[in-house]
Amino acid sequence: MLNVSDFGVSRASSMSSLSADVQVNIFKGALVALADDRVRINQVVRLIRENRSSECATHGLMPRGRSGSTILPSKEIQDLKQRELEKKANVFDHSPYKETASENKKLERILGKSLSCSRELASIAKRIREVTGSPMRFNDFSPQQQQKIIEESAYIGGAHELLADMDTLDAHVLATLIKAESKEYDVGDMERRKCMFNHVRTPDNPIYPWNSHRFDLEIFEVTNPIQYTEEVRNLIADRWNDFLVRTKDVEAYLYEEVGLSLIDIDDGILGIIQGLSTSDRKKLLKDVLHINWSTERFVEDEKNNRLNNPLGPQFRQHTTGAKTNVVRVSDKEDKNVNKWVFEAIVHGKPVASGPSGHTLRYLNHYAMCSEMHGLSNEAPKDLPSLEEARLVMLGNLMAPKDHHSYHEIMLASIGVYNGVDILEYKYKESYDDIGSTKVGADALKCAQAELALNKR
């Protein structure tokens, strides 16, 4: 968990300040001013009065009469306070990273739309499914796997298509992952994420040596709202405001119907979140506000029903990693967490939910199977390359699906080896790595052209 200071962040239209006890914390440890301190304080007060008098004279205003309230701070002090708040803000909200990443996110979204709708890429995903020996029909899965698919069809992209035996990229990827994550591949002495395909060969991959790092937290695990990005805070605020408008007697409803502890809505949503237990935060954020559901309107690649998303049929019908998880920006005991975040900031690459474990398992599984085919006497000649397999994961996870960012998927692929080829991530400052395949090169060229056109 991050060790960050509490401060009140608000959205002008909707977010209340944090609770009073949090505000009082700023006075803890305060000392009585000494003589020298009082001299400096008097100097500051004189400066404030002079600035106020100057502003009044400039704008033809009468000086504010004293009414028992504190003197308003000068613009210089306001700027100083604002800079102090900015220092405490989430690192992903700082300039110039925020602006650069925002532009790159636009490119990734266009690129992701192209890849997710590519019939050629869907054919590659289907071939990988065949090569890995994954079941090609729903009825070929075990009863336990079938039950899992049925349950996940309510919120996981591709599960409904897999259930209906549809020929889609997401269905083929999910089928391959279900096979890769079956118990036969578990390593018994691992405490978590036992699947053998969580292994990483090279320290250049931040997931090295095993996929056991805490790159993110579930959104309800966050105890201090300062850990949210501005985008997430605003989303929570807007969703809370909508809930207040459509719900009568909010406090009673949350207590009696949802099962939350008693709250005071006057605390504001940030104060409420901070005061709740982990289980209550989960109920509020996921069950009431539906924070984890997609708000993306691009649905051309979806072949499921329009009934799953509680926010409406106009949105994608699945939850997203970017809204379910919050990226951890530092860890005193795990330098890999700090390193990958630093690289993302340096190169202006968007983040969503940390280096992708799904990508690692999918690629490792396919690499092992393709290597085994290569050692056989009747090796198939049309095996997709590792670069093409990685491209499949970009189409499956990247925006607009918004489970992982380009950078997170590419990082997870580093070092995957099939006995002949090894995946690299050479151009972290750009998107040129996917140009090694025709499908990727064409998609990138079109995405860059569309982005340039949109800027005109």
pLDDT digits 0-9 by tens, 324-341: 999 999 999 999 999 999
Q: What is the pLDDT of residue 225?
A: 84
Query: Which of residues 370 and 54 earns the better pLDDT score?
Result: 370
Residue 224 has pLDDT above 60, yes or no: yes
Q: What is the pLDDT of residue 39?
A: 59
Q: Binning pLDDT at 50, 70 and 90, where does residue 374 land?
A: confident
d(CA 308, CA 154): 6
Which residues, in sequence order, are CB contacts of 5 under 8 Å at separation 6+? 88, 226
Residue 20 has pLDDT above 60, yes or no: no
Q: Binning pLDDT at 50, 70 and 90, where does residue 378 land?
A: confident
Q: Binning pLDDT at 50, 70 and 90, where does residue 13 land?
A: very low
Q: What is the pLDDT of residue 88?
A: 62
**What's the pTM value of the predicted model, to 2 decimals?**
0.81
Phi, psi angles (nearest 5°) of residue 217 = -125, 150
Q: Binning pLDDT at 50, 70 and 90, where does residue 227 land?
A: confident
Residue 64 has pLDDT above 50, yes or no: no
Pair of tokens at residue 4: 């960050």
Q: Binning pLDDT at 50, 70 and 90, where does residue 81 land?
A: low
Query: Which of residues 43 and 269 earns the better pLDDT score?
Result: 269
Q: Mean pLDDT throughout 361-387?
A: 91
d(CA 87, CA 81): 10
d(CA 447, CA 428): 18
Q: Mean pLDDT throughout 194-218?
A: 97
Q: What is the pLDDT of residue 322?
A: 96
Q: What is the pLDDT of residue 17?
A: 41
Q: Binning pLDDT at 50, 70 and 90, where does residue 51 land?
A: low
d(CA 169, CA 294): 19
Q: What is the pLDDT of residue 188?
A: 77
Least confident of 16-30, 180-194, 439-453: 16-30
> Please, are residues 58 and 51 in contact by the beta-carbon 8 Å criterion?
no
Residue 188 has a CB neighbour count (10 Å cut-off) of 5
Phi, psi angles (nearest 5°) of residue 89 = -65, 160
- Binning the chain into helix, strand and coil, the percentages to the nearest 5 are 55, 5, 40
| Omega before residue 73 within 30° of 0, cis | no
Q: What is the pLDDT of residue 400?
A: 97
d(CA 299, CA 311): 14
Per DSSP, the three-state class of 218 is: strand
Condensed to tens digits (0 to 9), the pLDDT of residues 169-198 reads 999 999 999 999 999 999 977 777 899 999
Query: Which of residues 217 and 54 earns the better pLDDT score?
Result: 217
Q: Binning pLDDT at 50, 70 and 90, where does residue 226 land?
A: confident
Query: Which of residues 224 and 239 earns the better pLDDT score?
Result: 239
d(CA 26, CA 30): 9
Mean pLDDT of the chain: 87
Per DSSP, the three-state class of 53 is: helix
Condensed to tens digits (0 to 9), the pLDDT of residues 147-165 reads 999 999 999 999 999 999 9
CA distances for 282 relative to 8, 152, 219, 312, angstroms: 22, 19, 8, 21
d(CA 236, CA 291): 7
Write out the DSSP string of 383-401: PPPHHHHHHHHHHHHSTTS
Q: What is the pLDDT of residue 318?
A: 97
The structural domains of the chain, with segments of one domain joined by +, span 33-88, 91-215+330-455
Q: Binning pLDDT at 50, 70 and 90, where does residue 244 land?
A: very high
Phi, psi angles (nearest 5°) of residue 169 = -60, -50
Q: Mean pLDDT throughout 226-247?
A: 95
3-state SS track over 347-372: HCCCCCCCCCHHHHHHHHHHHHHHHH
Q: Binning pLDDT at 50, 70 and 90, where does residue 382 land?
A: confident
pLDDT above 70 coverage of the chain, percent = 80
CA distances for 377 relative to 255, 368, 381, angstroms: 66, 16, 12
Which residues, in sequence order, are CB contacts of 52 under 8 Å at separation 6+? 63, 64, 71, 72, 74
Cross-strand pairs, 216 = 327
Q: What is the pLDDT of residue 232?
A: 95
Residue 379 has a CB neighbour count (10 Å cut-off) of 11
Pair of tokens at residue 147: 């039950």
Residue 433 has pLDDT above 60, yes or no: yes
Residue 182 one-letter amino acid = S
| Token pair 């569309």 in the structure block, residue | 450
Residue 36 one-letter amino acid = D
> Please, are residues 232 and 217 in contact by the beta-carbon 8 Å criterion?
no
Q: Mean pLDDT throughout 364-370?
A: 97
3-state SS track over 140-154: HCCHHHHHHHHHHCC
Q: What is the pLDDT of residue 74?
A: 60
Q: What is the pLDDT of residue 89?
A: 72
Residue 236 has pLDDT above 70, yes or no: yes
CA distances for 175 relative to 138, 161, 163, 239, 364, angstroms: 9, 10, 10, 34, 15
Q: What is the pLDDT of residue 87?
A: 58
Residue 36 has a CB neighbour count (10 Å cut-off) of 8
Q: Binning pLDDT at 50, 70 and 90, where does residue 10 land?
A: very low
